Copies of this chain bind each other. A is one copy, B any other.
């Protein structure tokens, strides 16, 4: 039998794996099966598409099924649901969603890249019109269509997708209210960093942010469209559009029912080669569990950057090469209006949770020479181990260039650098890019003095 790589799911990891596998092996039969109508799209672009910052829908679709066929000789089956994996016979059972027909296909290697889904709460009114989650391309199109006529939006959840969507709706002219069940926005950050961002959003963008609260139910109008929400404390807020952005879950049911082991986070457990516990079955992307490079512990933080890397690594190993995924720092960056919000490695609350003996420093500094016209502030929080002096993590936020600095720290964390080693980095300097002593160096100097 001809070698046949079957990939389940074709957004980031799956699409990347398919094209990389083709590059590595011109003769391999490669098929992608996916429930959705779209593959190889940028889910991260959807907030910008919804607000019309990107107007051409086709730009978000990186590669169409036709391109996969003609350019890569890869067969893409959209709107096909894989209903069972049969490891003993090395087959999958597939259902054609349009016809209901079922059939089996043999694989020599299988890659599970089923991704994740947004969490949908179970409450009164969830079936009303203009109530959304944002995960798939289809979700994005649906929100965009409704957003044009809506004016009062309520977003449940203040993670980075919730905030990107707040900006998207704000830029579309909506009045935006955010409801967060925890005591801070962006719960992934430490609270004092989150509070600085909240202050900016409330004072400069007039966003309404409600903490320590939840939506209890949704109230519709005569057209079965949402018109209000009720909070846990019985507050009624007008809303003609509601977005739930309160967390995601890995799509692991298919894998689990085939006997594939899950990790302690509930996502699929894989080794550095992206292999599951079943021979010839790999997994990559948002459905897998990662190892945190700082703690060595399992974590689940699905991000497009890791998904693309993992898809590539899986493809190299499937086609006989050698590549390893070393782990994640859960680095992320997000544009929150004029703010850049970025983190890498551990937050202080994580350092506490993992019982590190740590020290922190928070400094605020201009990102360029202070006399240079568009110099803007960034606030850096650095965390280091008191004993080893190794960096544990950083959070950098502000209107200035936080992203440049977070990636210096991400590189330093990958290399296991200490606070002292940061001094030795020969960071570039010119007034349009940096002060003579970069804020990262200043933060590390101040942390040295505390250690």
Contact = CB atoms under 8 A, between A and B. Distances in A.
A45 B427 contact: no
Interface string A297-314: 000000111111100100
Given A371-B54, A372-B54, A12 B428 contact: no
A329 interface: yes
Contacts of A406: 428
Given A45-B372, A333-B428, A415-B421, 11 more contacts: A45-B369, A48-B432, A53-B373, A54-B373, A305-B429, A312-B445, A333-B430, A335-B430, A404-B404, A407-B408, A414-B417
A410 interface: yes
How many copies are assembled? 2
A42 B333 contact: no
A331 interface: yes
Contacts of A428: 305, 331-333, 342, 344, 403, 406-407, 410
B42 A430 contact: no
A294 to B, nearest CB: 10
29 contacts: A42-B369, A42-B436, A44-B369, A44-B429, A48-B371, A48-B431, A53-B373, A59-B371, A303-B429, A305-B426, A305-B437, A305-B438, A308-B436, A326-B424, A327-B424, A331-B427, A332-B430, A333-B428, A333-B429, A333-B430, A401-B404, A403-B434, A406-B428, A407-B407, A407-B408, A414-B424, A414-B425, A414-B426, A415-B416
A74 interface: no
A423 interface: yes
Interface in A257-271: none
B410 A407 contact: no
A343 to B, nearest CB: 8
Contact of A437 (B309, B323, B369): B309
Contacts of A42: 369, 371, 431, 436
A305 B45 contact: no
Contacts of A330: 426
A309 B429 CA distance: 12
A293 B312 CA distance: 33
A415 to B, nearest CB: 3
Residue from A42, A60, A416 whose CB has the most chain B CB atoms within 10 Å: A42
B403 A411 contact: no
A334 interface: yes
Contact of A44 (B332, B370, B427, B436): B436
Interface in A26-76: 42, 44-45, 48, 53-54, 56, 59-60
A328 interface: yes
Contacts of A342: 428
A200 interface: no
A356 interface: no
Contact of A429 (B332, B414, B437): B332
A206 B93 CA distance: 64
A242 interface: no
A440 to B, nearest CB: 9
A48 B415 CA distance: 37
Contact of A417 (B326, B333, B415): B415
B432 A335 contact: yes
A381 to B, nearest CB: 16
* Most chain B CB atoms below 10 A, which of A327, A410, A427: A427
Given A411-B425, A412-B411, A415-B412, A433 B371 contact: no
Contacts of A421: 414-415
A369 B62 CA distance: 10
Contacts of A404: 401, 403-404, 407
Contacts of A329: 426
The 9 closest A-B pairs by CB, nearest first: A415-B415, A305-B429, A333-B428, A59-B371, A329-B426, A411-B411, A404-B404, A326-B424, A331-B426
A433 B305 CA distance: 12
A303 B430 CA distance: 9
A437 to B, nearest CB: 5
Most buried by B among A305, A309, A342: A305
